[in-house]
Structure 1
Amino acid sequence: MDCTHTLSLGDPLEPARKATARMLHERERTFSLPQPFYNDERLFQIDMQEIFHKEWLIAGMTCEIPTKGNFITLQLGDNPILVVRGAEGQIHAFHNVCRHRGSRLCVSDKGKVAKLVCPYHQWTYELDGRLLFAGTEMGADFKLSDYNLKPVHCKSAGGFIFISLAENPPAIDEFLAGLAHYMEPYDMENTKVAVQSVMPEKANWKLVIENNRECYHCNGSHPELLNTLLEWDDTNDPRATQEFKDHVAECAAAWDAEKIPYAHAGFGLRNRIVRMPLLKGTVSMTMDGKPGCKKLMGRIQNPDLGSMRILHLPHSWNHCMGDHLINFTVWPISAQETVVITKWLVHKDAVEGVDYDVERLRQVWDATNDQDRRLGEENQRGINSTAYQPGPYSKTYEFGVVNFLDWYSERMLNNLGDTPAQSLRQASGE
């Protein structure tokens, strides 16, 4: 029995939804988006409802909830979410909302509990979401089974935890199988988060992702990063030099010898996994290119694994090296506010101050994140101008941005239930 009753007041965003679909159909795909996509609060709400509430998101890493009762929480728009490790190692996700009066159950970012107990009136839930106790005050005819926690779709692979608030989330199992294969050498269950940063950015979330999807800006903005990073994603890049291709071939032979996966794997435009070498003579994204952690991850013996890059749209990119892994997730707050969370992971037995120094580990990406924050905020300020109009992307340097906006447009239109014919009828007023 579900006693939920929703009073429908109509959808105040309906005109904005139609305008969004029309603009996406009419946009020039090799140009930036029309201004409302970057600064309009109505369109931001549509982004949340149709992208962030319907696509798969990375909620955290499995190593953050290593044993039964460990939990993490996150905020997705107006929705507080709880992820907890249950019996037999199973990971569950729920709306972090008590079924009594709606209070949040877990109020800290992370922790460990025997049961999930609401701090308001002590309603108590099992780790699998079943309501166990509500007190005799609820009356003799009260059924505990009618008030279990509301679940959130949850899957895990390769050390990553994915959630989706959608009733029927898009297919993701093929990517998760690929991710598990590529992450096998890292033994992610035996890692830990050495440190994390939470960086607010006064820019629309799409500007944060667009900035990440190109390195056109790197030479002028990221001196620390370019101590080690080679910007190309594969040898098919039209800008790739013969020297780079030879470097890739040499590294690939070493990776083959150690049975380290590296081939470019694509899963539509949403997901991509590829291992690329770092600059010759460097093995990790540190200031000097030397390992940031002495203890290598998983079964890895050779620190020179380059960087395995994992893309997960709409909101994450990752760099996996022999000695540590860096996970980035982007969380929209408002039309012009975003939070970027960065986590640095190392082997769980690595000892801080002995095997790694936190400041040295995070130095390159702290600098890079802050540089990107400034770029994004200046981008947002310019876009807010009455002078802004969509501008052209470079077909060589910014093809990754075009791919992102193609994905975003397709998913937005699909989730809106729109078709080109419908959009044309709406545009003509039919």
Structure 2
Amino acid sequence: MDVTATLSLGDPLEPARKATAHMLQERERTFSLPQPFYSDERLFDIDMQEIFQKEWLIAGMTCEIPAKGNYLTLQVGKNPIIVIRGAEGVVHAFHNVCRHRGSRLCTSDKGKVAKLVCHYHQWTYELDGRLLFAGTEMGADFDMKQYGLKPVNVKTAGGYIFISLAENPPAIDDFLSTLTHYMEPYDMENTKVAIQTTLFEKANWKLVLENNRECYHCNASHPELLKTLLEWDDVTDPRADQAFKDHVAASAAAWDAEKIPYAHASFGLRNRIVRMPLLKGTVSMTLDGKQGCNKLMGRIKNPDLGSMRILHLPHSWNHCMGDHIIVFTVWPISAQETMVTTKWIVHKDAVEGVDYDVERMRKVWDATNDQDRRLAEENQRGINSTAYQPGPYSKTYEFGVVNFVDWYSERMLSNLGAAPAPYLKGVAVHE
């Protein structure tokens, strides 16, 4: 019998899969998740298999691979991935694994190559994944056409690169079309990453997302951020007062005049785009509220565009202002460790030290990210206790967290092939 087939018989995670589905089906919707969802390594493995290997992820930005041969690499669980710009500007994505003996092809975070060459035995691939050279040692009957790189689903929209490791990924084209429209003013092909940071948090990835999906904690924890950020995402928020609604209306009139998209657009619970003004008198997320970059992006003439907030579950949130864009992505490492990357993006012709000062531009979110890291880590430490039990979410201050957990629960149950939870009946969680 084939050894691989033998080892695959009897999924060791099957009992955990059944327990996961049962816990999600039986949980109280408006309460936090049972402890294993935040701490158990078996459940973490299921998260990676059923969420991060099946949903669409933001791999990076098209401006990071501007020309033919430019590539970036990333790690999705145990899967190394390469995204590369090929001929005629086409973006490809592959498993970063040589088809000879499995070595990683590209070992740098970013770079530029003429061809993809494995350092181990020099097998050589075209930028579209075709095997070009394997040496005469493989024999005369060796068919190179059978050994191209294994592709990964990839789509681009509005300057973002989306990948999915699934054989049949979920539909996303409607969101991508809308994203392209909303990002048009920024001319994302003519931008660059001014600075990127990486933060490691000793907390489960879902705690990182839950923290992001509410501002219940903001007043006590984020003094720098609240110098410019208005908490509410929409005038329909039950806590929004008339002064806020008037501020939104005045801002919308100015955006209309410049043909800047701003209306709330949602795609189930997975994706949302909405532009909200910042505090009156501020135009960018800096400590003084003034522009972080003097050169505005794309066709934008008015720096006072507030912040266009883009949500992409399971792992990204974004703030798009007139002068720069901030892209956050969350990458699970283990049941209790998560990597958060933050990229500050500016016009490609903006000159550091002239048009922008990196330290000034990043200061607010450096502080905010670290504050959130501490909150998530303390949350994890408490959840690890034998005293932890699921607690109630606020339906007003934490509805965003409820939405995230609803989305996670539905996608997990669906991808596991389990029956949907009764409490999700009628909840539009995805396209």
TM superposition score normalised by structure 2: 0.96
1:5 CA displacement: 6.3
Separation in 1 of the partners of 2:283 and 2:323? Answer: 9
**1:18 paired to 2:18:** yes
Query: 1:230 maps to which residue?
Result: 230
What's 1:99 paired with? 99
Cα gap change, 1:21/1:301 in structure 2, threshold over 3 Å: closer, same or farther? same
Partner of 1:279: 279
Counterpart residue number, 1:243: 243
Distance (whole Å) between structure 1 residues aligned to residue 110 and residue 10 of structure 2: 37
Within-5 A mapping of 1:54-203:
54-203=54-203
Give 1:9 shift: 3.5
Deviation at 1:100, TM superposition (A): 0.2
**For 2:242 and 2:388, how far apart are their aligned partners in 1?**
39
Alignment partners' CA distance in 1, 2:421 and 2:219: 43
How far apart are the structure 2 equivalents of 1:392 and 1:105?
Answer: 47
Distance 1:22 1:106 in 2: 41
In structure 2, what residue type is equivalent to 1:360? Answer: R
- Decide whether the 8 Å contact of 2:74 with 2:82 is kept in 1: yes
Q: Residue 427 of structure 1 corresponds to which residue in structure 2? A: none
Amino acid at match of 2:112: K
User: What is the rounded CA distance, in whole Å, between the counterparts of 2:29 and 2:360 in structure 1?
Assistant: 41
Give the Cα–Cα distance (whole angstroms) in 2 for the partners of residues 264 and 420 of structure 1: 28
Secondary structure of 1:68 counterpart: coil
Match of 2:330 in 1: 330
Change (3 A) 1:4 1:106: farther
Cα deviation for residue 10 of structure 1 reads 2.1
How far did 1:275 drift? 0.0
Kindly report which structure 2 residues correspond to 1:306-385, keeping only aligned pairs within 5 A, or say none: 306-385=306-385
Instruction: Supply the distance in 2 between the matched residues of 1:189 and 1:364 (Cα, whole angstroms).
Output: 26
Work out the CA distance in 2 between the residues paired with 1:421 and 1:358.
Answer: 47
The residue aligned with 1:296 is: 296
Q: Percent identity?
A: 84
Structure 1 residue 6: Cα displacement: 4.9
| Structure 2 counterparts to residues 34-73 of structure 1, below 5 A | 34-73=34-73
Which residue of 1 is the match for residue 425 of structure 2? none
Q: Which letter does structure 1 place at the counterpart of 2:174?
A: E
| Structure 2 Cα separation of the partners of residues 13 and 6 of structure 1 | 16
RMSD: 1.3
Aligned counterpart, 2:387: 387
Alignment size in residue pairs: 420
Q: Distance in 1 between matches of 2:291 and 2:4?
A: 56
User: What are the Cα deviations for residues 253-304 of structure 1, in whole angstroms up to 9, with x where unaligned?
Assistant: 0000000000000000000000000000000000000000000000000000
Q: TM-score, normalised by structure 1?
A: 0.97
Question: Judging changes above 3 Å, is the alpha-carbon distance between structure 1 residues 302 and 47 closer, same or farther for their aligned structure 2 residues?
Answer: same
Amino acid at match of 1:408: Y
Cα deviation code 1:119-154 (max 9, x no counterpart)? 000000000000000000000000110100000000
Q: Give the SS at the match of 2:294.
A: coil
Instruction: Give the Cα–Cα distance (whole angstroms) in 1 for the partners of residues 421 and 410 of structure 2.
Output: 15
Contact preservation (8 Å) 2:318, 2:325: yes
Give the 3-state SS of the residue equivalent to 1:154 in structure 2.
strand
Alignment partner, residue 255 of structure 1: 255
Residue 249 of structure 1, CA deviation: 0.3
> Any idea what SS the aligned residue of 2:207 has?
helix
